Amino acid sequence: MRILITNLNRFTTSSQVIALLIPFGLVTSARIVMNARSGYSEGVALVEMEYKAGQIVIHELDNMLFMNNYICVEETLNANDSPTRFLA
């Protein structure tokens, strides 16, 4: 499952995101989105982890206070998924 975490503190590292999520299950990747021009964090992380663990993370951590910011945690589409795949 691919998870989008927004409203992160600008100083949050991928290691800190992994440490937050690892109690829920295996994290296969975590990446902080950086602004190409400034080199600073956009306050967004993209995380991939097991599906069931991801569902728990979304339920438990959405609107949680993390590093002085209330974070938003939601599922996002993989790059190779198309929105029409979910229509039926």
Instruction: Convert the pLDDT of each residue in 12-28 to its tens digit.
Output: 999 999 999 999 999 99
Q: What is the DSSP letter of 64?
A: -
What's the rounded Cα separation, in Å, for the pair 62 and 60? 6
What's the rounded Cα separation, in Å, for the pair 25 and 84? 29
Confidence (pLDDT) at 78 = 66
Domains of the chain: 2-78 (3.30.70.330)
Confidence (pLDDT) at 77 = 82
Residue 38, C-beta contacts closer than 8 angstroms, at least 6 positions apart: none
What's the rounded Cα separation, in Å, for the pair 68 and 56? 22
What's the rounded Cα separation, in Å, for the pair 70 and 87? 32
For the chain, how long is the longest CA-to-CA vector?
Answer: 42
Confidence (pLDDT) at 88 = 44
Position 80 pLDDT exceeds 70: no
